[in-house]
Amino acid sequence: MVLKNMKLTVVFIFCLLASANAFAQTESGATAKQVVDKFQTELIAVMKNGKQLGYAGRYDKLYAPVSNSHDLTKIARIVVGKEWEKLSEAQQQKLVDIFIRLSVASYAHNFKDYSGESFVFDSEEETTRGGVVVHSHFIIPDDKPVKFDYMLKEKGNSWRIINIIANGVSDLALKRSEYTTILQREGFDALIAKINEKIDNYSKL
């Protein structure tokens, strides 16, 4: 009996320690998996209220979750590649601002309602360059699941998404090709005009 009690106590202490540990972790900044989890949960929550919220409502609700989980400034730099250096400071700022709006707008447009979708976590791995990849998949009822791999980098004491790879197609690579091509062929103003047009279409469709 005494032995059993002791065992229980030990188990209890372990539980306490474990929860304290988990708490400490959130205190010091979320892990990569937690960042992705939180963002996916928030996205699904917005989808569930998607119809009532409307596009503007979804945009407002998603603004904070998207900008807190993604390192959009870094993404904006990466997608223009070496062209970044050729931009003036004002242009760089303009690009980052409009890129944030585009990112939120595309989420608000593409995840507009809910019919039982969910995200499932698969695994987590570290890359050679100090990043973390969170593998997950998005389940759509009566359709094939879509693989979502999130590539994260540490920023300050937290992790931020810098790339999303959907079924093997890297969003960063895709945008980088597009943006550098447009900058080389048509210039900065054309790029901004095209992004504005996309944001505009997202709000209407």
Question: DSSP 3-state assignment of 88?
Answer: coil
Cα 173 to Cα 49, 54, 63, 81, 169, distances in angstroms: 32, 30, 23, 11, 8
Quick one: 38 or 147, whose CB is closer to another protein?
Answer: 147
Q: Rule CB under 8 A: is residue 196 a binding residue for another protein?
A: no
Rg (CA), the chain: 21
How far apart, in whole angstroms, are the C-alpha atoms of residue 49 and residue 29? 29
Looking up tokens 């998603």 gives 62
Residue 101: closest CA among 186, 184, 199, 35? 199
Among 28, 41, 123, 127, binds another protein (CB under 8 A): 127
Helix, strand, coil share of the chain (percent; to 5):
65, 20, 15
Name the minimum Å distance from CB 82 to another protein: 5
Cα 113 to Cα 17, 46, 54, 66, distances in angstroms: 40, 8, 9, 17
Which residues, 6 or more positions from 110, have their beta carbon under 8 angstroms from its beta carbon?
A: none
Query: What mask of x and - would describe binding to another protein in positions 3 to 32, judged by CB under 8 A?
Result: ------------------------------
Q: Rule CB under 8 A: is residue 78 a binding residue for another protein?
A: yes
Q: Rule CB under 8 A: is residue 62 a binding residue for another protein?
A: no
Q: Rule CB under 8 A: is residue 77 a binding residue for another protein?
A: yes
Query: What mask of x and - would describe binding to another protein in positions 153 to 182, judged by CB under 8 A?
Result: x--------xx-xxxxxx-xxx-xxxxxxx
Number of residues this chain uses to bind another protein (CB under 8 A) = 58
Name the minimum Å distance from CB 16 to another protein: 38
Quick one: 32 or 162, whose CB is closer to another protein?
Answer: 162
Q: Rule CB under 8 A: is residue 195 a binding residue for another protein?
A: yes
Name the minimum Å distance from CB 175 to another protein: 8
Among 97, 184, 187, 200, binds another protein (CB under 8 A): 184
